[in-house]
Each structure stands twice: as C-alpha cells, then as structure tokens.
Structure 1
Amino acid sequence: MESTLLMMAFAAALLASVALKHWLAGRQMRHIAQHRHAVPASFAATVSLAAHQKAADYSIAKLRFGMLASTFSAAVLLGWTLLGGLDALNSVVRDAVQPRFGDMAYQLALLGAFAAIGGLLELPFEIWSTFRLEQRFGFNRITPKLFVADLLKGLVVGTLLGLPIAALILWLMGAAGSLWWLWAWGAWVGFNLLMLVIFPTVIAPLFNKFEPLQDEALKARVEALMSRCGFAAKGLFVMDGSRRSAHANAYFTGFGAAKRVVFFDTLLARLSPAEVEAVLAHELGHFRHRHVLKRIAMIFGVSLLGFALLGWLSNQVWFYTGLGVRPNMEAPNDALALLLFMLAGPVFMYFVSPLMATLSRRHEFEADAYACAQADGRHLAGALLKLYEDNASTLTPDPLYVRFYYSHPPATERLAAMRRLSAASSAAAAA
C-alpha cells in the first residue's frame, strides 16, 4: 500500500513540476516578447533598443532551451526510477563487483556508474548551451580544447573529493547504528566547511588564473572601503573569466581567514573604479548582514532534516519498491537509498523553491541598502545597468516568474529601491 502511494505521489509531483516549469517559462517568454519593441521608460536614457532586444532574444532562447532540457531531465528521472533504470544498473553492478571486491566496492561502483551515465546524458546539453546558445549571442569564449580540459579536471577533482566522503557516509550507514544519519550529517558538514577553506587556494586555481590586483589606485580605493566596513580579506585577485565567457562578475570566496575578493577581468574592463567600489560594497553588505552565515546555517539545518528523513526511509522496503527498485536483502542497500533520495527529493522540494528565492531577494535589497550607505548609490545603479546589459539580462521579466525563480530582484525594483534610499538620505541631510 505504502509503495503504491509513494509511486503515485512521485509521479504526480514529477508531472506537476514539469507542467509548472513549462507554464512559468511560457509566461516569461510571452511577457518578454510583448515588451521587446521598446525599452522601458525608466531605462530609455541609459539602455539602447539594440541591447534591450538582444537581452529579450537571449532570454527567450535560454528559456526554450531550458524547457527542452527540463523535459529531458524529467524523462531520464522517470527512466531511473519508475521505469526500472536504477534497478537494472544496480543488478549489473552488484553481480559484477560484489562477489569479487566486496560490499563497499560494489556500492562505490554503483555511485560511480550512476554519476558517469548521468554526466554523459547531460553532456550534449552542456555542449549545445556553450557552443551554440552562448556562441550565438557572443558570450562564449571557451575553446573546445579548454572545454575538454575543464571536463577532465572536473572529473578528476570530483573523483578525488567525492569518493572519500561517499565511502565515509556509506561506512557510517552500515556501522554507526540507528543514529548513523547524525554522524553522516556531521561528516557532510565537516566536508563542506573544509571545501569553503580549500576551494579558493587549491581547487579554483586548477580552472582559472588568479592574479593579484595590479591597479594601485583601485586597490587603494577597495582597501579603504573594506577598512571602513571592518572587513579583512586574504587578498584582492583578478580572475581570467574572459577565457571562457564575456559575462562579468565579482565575488567573495573562502571562509574565515581564507576569505578573498575576486574580480572577473571582464568586470574591471567594463566598470569605472567608482562602480567597482559600489559593487564591492554590495557584496560587503552580505557579510555585514551575515547573509552568508545565515544561508550556510539554513542549508545545514535543512540537510540535518534530510539526513534524518533518509535514516528512516532507508529502512522502509516501500521506499525502494515505490521508486522502482527491488532491494536485495542479502546485500547492503545504502548506496541505493542515497541515490533514490537524491533523485526523488528535488522533485518535492521544487514546490518550496519560491520561499528560498524570496529570502534571497530580501537579502539583495539589504545588501543594496548597505552599499548605498557606504558608496554612491548612483554608481551602484550605473554598475547594475552595465552588468544587466553585458549579461543580456531582460529588463521586463514576468512578475510571477520573478516571484518563483529570481534570486535577485529585477532591475526595476532594485533601482526604484535605490531611488527611495537616495531621496530619504537627501531629506535627512536637508533636515
């Protein structure tokens, strides 16, 4: 009975999520197309019609591609679960590996085979997105040689990092008793904290070059801003983002003493020093309001609930059979439980994603307000407009699509909030 209910609930959730994704994407495309003919009045003096139409065409092209990719992903997910794909893969790997190499080797081999097949299925979409979609709109700068090199490096790094943590969690599932999920969660938290520390200095340099910021005037300006804001970083670096894409960005990375500020070279080439300072002030706002720590704490809290749920589900036969897998009671099913949970969980979590997007937009408004207090809000507004134009982000998104997906407020809302802040500041100064 439980197996049938789970099967029906999963199928209904998968169908509903695909239908909702397509409906929202259709709304977004129609809304953008309807406003393609003219630049919104509030941007008419700063954004050209050509740039506005490029953003519209780029957004619509990405949405169409996304609809195709999401449909394919749903079909693959259905194939892995209710149509028996994972069950078949498990049988083949178990029979080939377990008798000769033991339970742990079999489970790691199952995880590896699943990851390899999934990666191969996604690769054509990644290639098309990079060399056709991004290329068509002038954003792609990566060569096939560099693309393959990145792919191979990612495979090696993923294997070196993923296998040990996977082996540890699988060992805990089999050896730590009924509270294995608590120990496994602790191991997962420790692994993620370690990644925050070593990513900037060990992993990221494998894919990009990071050079110290050479512009002394800009460096002095940035350091003065950080000093005013009480922020200390390990260094200021410029990343060669232009080797792969024309998109521009800046970010903080690392944790604790390993924090560093990273500017894309494309960003520095596009923005004035005052605009770079304003963008950095926005990022500092996230740290001042502890947004990063809050998000990390929230992720760890949700993951604790997830591990607890998995700890219960992994002991329920209906959990496996309801998702298309026949567990072998004479072999460990821990890797199967992990895979099924990773496959089914996002389907149900999709419907709460608007809550996360709402929280993220609120944080962006708070960071904007902080930036306007620490730097000139006009420069932040100018930088945002340049970034919207350079990244071909639409200025006319569908409001409902925004509420469901956008982690950042649309340009109209952000600039309106900045104008209100500026007016309030001017009124306070006059008083």
Structure 2
Amino acid sequence: MLEIFVIGYCLYFFFTIYTSIMQIGYVNKAKALEPIILENSKYIEAANYSIEKEKVAMASAFYSFVLFVFWIGFGLSSLDSLITTQSYWLKAIIFVDLFIIINWILGLPFDLYSTFKLDKKYGFSNMTPALFIKDTLKSGVLFLIFGSAVIAAISWIINSFQTWWVWGFVFIFAVIILINMLYPVIRDKMFDKFESLKDKELEAKIENLLDQVGFKSSGVFSVDASKRDNRLNAYFGGLGSTKRVVLFDTLVEKLSHDELLAVLGHELGHFKNGDILKNIGIMGVVMFVFFAIFGNLSEEIFLGLSINNEPYAIIALFLIFSPILSFFLMPLISLISRHNEYAADEFGSNLSSKKDLVSALLKLANENKSFPLSHPLYIFFYYSHPPLVERFKELGYDVHENSAEALKDSVFNK
C-alpha cells in the first residue's frame, strides 16, 4: 500500500509541474495580446508577476519532492530513533512538532524570497524584517501551545478507540469550527489592529446593507493590512456572535462607497445562498474521507517506513499525504466554488448595481495585478473563483470587445 501512496505523490508532483509549465507558456503568449481588463502597463506587469510566481511555485514543488523522498526514505525513521520517551502522547507532540518545524525551516527560503524579493519588486509587500520576525514568533507560540494540545488530544483518541478515526474526525472538525469562530479575535489581539470605521457615512451604509439581508454582525471594522501588504481585500470573519465585517484599509482607500457596497453585496450573496454552510459541509465530507483512509492504513506501510503504527506516525503520514488527496479533489471543489461565485455576483449586482460591481472588480484586478487570462487546465485545478473575463461576461460586459482603457473610461470612473 505504501507504493500506492508514493505513486500518488509522484502523480501529484507531475501534475503540479505540468500545470505550471502550461500556465507559464499560456501567460507568455497572452501578454503579447491586446490588454483586457487591466490598464496597459499593469497588464504586462501582472503577466510577469504571474510567471515569476509560477516559477517560484515550480522550484518549491521540486524542493518539496526532495523533502518527500527524504522523509519517506529515512527521515521519519531517523527522527523516530531520536525520541526515546515511552509516553505515546508526549512522543506524538515532540515528533510532530519537530516534523513541522523542520519542514518550516527548510521551506523558509521560499517564503522569504516571495515576501522580501518578489512581492516587494511588484509593489505588494510592506513587510519589514522586524515585523516578519514578530509575526513568526507569535505564530510559533500559538502553534506550540494550541497545536501541541491538539496533537496530544488526537494521539489520545488514536490510542483509546478502535474506530479512532470517527472520533478523531469529530474532534478535529470541532476544532476547525472553533478556530473559525475565534479567528477575528485572535487576529485582533495578536496580529492586526482592528478599528471602527472612521467614515461614519460608509459605516451607516454598510449597516443598512447588512440589515437588508438579515446579516447580524458584531460590527464593521477596518484593519491595518497595509503594514504588511498593499493588496485590496475584505472578508466576513468569525461565526455566531464573533461575526464581523472586516475591510482592509487599502480597500477603503481605493474604492468608492458604491464600489465597497457592491463588494460586500457579493459577500452577502454567499451568506444568503448558504455557501458558508455548504463549504463547511463539503469540508466535513472531505475530512471524513481523509480520516477514514488514514484510520485504516495497512501495517505494511509502517513496516516499509521502519516506524511503529502509533499516533505520532499516523499524524505524520496524514500531514505528508493529505495534500495529494486534496489536490485531486480540488477540481470538483473548485467547480462548486466557481458556481457559487457566479450566484454571489448576481446577488451582489442586484443588491447594488452591475456597474458598481464591475467597477469594483476592475479596481481590484488593477490594484492586485491579477492577470485576467489563464490556461484552462490551470483554471480547472486551481481557480476557486471564475476567471475575471467570464465574471464580466456574466455581468453583461464582453471584455473581448473592449480594450482595458475603453472599459476604464466607460465604467471605471462612473
């Protein structure tokens, strides 16, 4: 059975590299065409950024494959031999923590390059070394405290129940729901500065919009995202009583009131259409399948890796192989997600106007340097949102009949 997992990882690696190669070739050809959606200068810049990102992703994929060979070949067994404690839960904590920390350290060069070289080159990253270290230390503390507690709990479940994977799924699923509830609070207390909107007129308009669709939140906040990044974004964070509307300060600065309301109208479309609950349900089904697979692993796998069939080993194998399963399930999940995005666009445009939503999407694409064209295979595997060209077409704007400047003149400034 180990051979099946190894073949699966090799296929995963092959498809990752192949889709990246196809994407790079496609974007290289597309950037020679007449610009659409983006302004002329940003069209070329976005294409170059997309290509460079994909090259980094390919290098990272090759590196990850080397790490996979290392862990499967002798890394897991070597780490196992270094930890001599007889306590199964303590061994699980030490083993898994070290496994994650080693992978993080070995992958750090790619993170540093993307943050301090690539993103700064294209005007995105405002990250400083001091802030990076500060964020890393805070994340590390959270991981060591809460991550270790989760590892200890799941190792106890594995060791205590015959059908541990059922109870393990219930526990982890509950933890994920709890994290989603607490996410805005954690971000507020440890990483970002959340403030009530200074623009009270905008706040009143947003509150009125929320009331129209029956969305109850704990408030509307602006977050100082620009201290790290210049991209524009907004989200509804939390669940239940912790729900809140969060606007990046960059978004508030760049978009007009009507455009902001159109973006929030799209997000409210997800709420009204029940997409949040649907996504939670899909995540639960996928996770249950994962737990069922890793809860019934053959003894041959552990023998082949020269490790014991114990909680620490099961958790490590889950971390190594679950990305493969996620990758091959991603096309189906992305297909559902793209369908939901079209429906949210329709709801948002009806709640505000198509003109405002198109204008907002144009600004988001230009400010975020989102190249509008991608290879169909790349879209099939990676796009959780429809391509911008298709979104505009559904909103009544055929970008192939208009240059980026024409769109800008007719919609952008209205």
TM-score (norm 1): 0.89
| Partner of residue 67 from structure 2, selected from 56, 69, 76 | 76
Q: Secondary structure at the match of 1:84?
A: helix
Deviation at 1:92, TM superposition (A): 1.0
**2:145 aligned with 1:196, yes or no?**
no
Report the AA paired with residue 25 of structure 2.
Answer: R
Does the residue aligned with 1:21 lie in a helix, a strand or coil?
Answer: helix
CA contact (8 A) 1:237 1:261 kept: yes
Q: Deviations over 1:81-126 (max 9, x none)?
A: 1x12111111112x3x33xxx3322221111111111111111111
Distance 1:11 1:190 in 2: 31
- Residue 153 of structure 1 corresponds to which residue in structure 2? 138
CA distance in 1, matches of 2:60, 2:189: 30
**Amino acid of the structure 2 residue aligned with 1:281:** G
Larger Rg: 1
CA-based RMSD of the aligned residues comes to 1.6
Tell me, what secondary structure is at the counterpart of 1:211? strand
* Counterpart amino acid of residue 313 in structure 2: L
Q: Which residue of 1 aligns with 2:169?
A: 185
Identity percentage of aligned residues: 33
Structure-1 residue corresponding to 2:13: 18
Q: How does 1:65-214 map to 2 (within 5 A)?
A: 65-81=56-72, 83-93=73-83, 95=84, 97-98=85-86, 102-175=87-160, 177-214=161-198
Q: AA paired with 1:357?
A: S
For 1:14, give the aligned amino acid: Y
Q: For the structure 1 residues 208 and 78, does the alpha-carbon distance in structure 2 shift closer, same or farther, using more than 3 Å as the test?
A: same
Is the Cα–Cα contact under 8 Å of residues 141 and 244 in structure 1 kept in the other structure?
Answer: yes
The code of the aligned residue for 1:290 comes to G
- The answer to whether the Cα contact below 8 Å between 1:39 and 1:52 also exists between their aligned partners in 2 is no
Name which of 34, 37, 55 aligns with 2:46.
Answer: 55
Q: Distance in 1 between matches of 2:94 and 2:151?
A: 11
Q: Provide runs of 4+ in structure 1 moved above 6 Å.
A: none
CA distance in 1 between partners of 2:371 and 2:397 (Å): 23
CA distance in 1, matches of 2:211, 2:227: 32
Give the TM-score of the pair, scaled to structure 2. 0.92
Amino acid of the structure 1 residue aligned with 2:132: F
Deviation at 1:400, TM superposition (A): 2.2
Letter in 1 for 2:65: A
Residues in 1 aligned to 2:4 and 2:291: alpha-carbon distance in whole angstroms: 21
**Are 2:367 and 1:390 equivalent residues in the alignment?**
yes
Cα contact 2:35–2:43 (8 A) shared by 1: no
Alpha-carbon distance in structure 1 between the residues aligned to 2:10 and 2:163:
34
Q: Which residue of 2 aligns with 1:294?
A: 278
CA contact (8 A) 2:2 2:300 kept: no
1:203–1:157 distance in 2 versus 1, CA, 3 Å = farther
Note the C-alpha offset of 1:306. 2.0
Give the equivalent residue in structure 1 for 2:406: none
Counterpart in the other structure of 1:343: 320
Gaps of 5+ in 1: 1-5, 422-431
- The Cα shift of 1:365 comes to 0.5
Aligned pairs (5 A) from 1:159-308: 159-175=144-160, 177-308=161-292
AA matched with 1:158: F
- Contact 1:281–1:375 (CA<8 Å) still a contact in 2? yes
Aligned counterparts of 1:204 and 1:122: Cα–Cα separation in 2 = 27
Task: Work out whether residues 317 and 327 of structure 1, in 8 Å CA contact, stay in contact via their aligned partners in 2.
Answer: no
> Are residues 1:352 and 2:336 paired?
no
Q: Is the 8 A contact 2:80 2:307 kept in 1?
A: no
Per-residue deviation, 1:301: 2.0
What CA deviation, in whole Å up to 9, does each residue of 1:205-256 have, x standing for no partner? Answer: 3111100111011111111111111111110000101000111100000001
Deviation of residue 52 (structure 1)? 0.5
Residue 399 (structure 1) shift:
2.1
Counterpart contact for 1:38–1:49, Cα < 8 Å: no
Q: Does the Cα contact within 8 Å between 1:39 and 1:48 map onto a contact in 2?
A: no
The answer as to 2:317 corresponding to 1:317 is no
The CA deviation string for residues 293-320 of structure 1, in whole angstroms up to 9 with x for no partner, is 111111112212222222221xx31122
CA distance in 2: counterparts of 1:374 and 1:350, whole angstroms:
35
| Aligned AA (1:76) | L
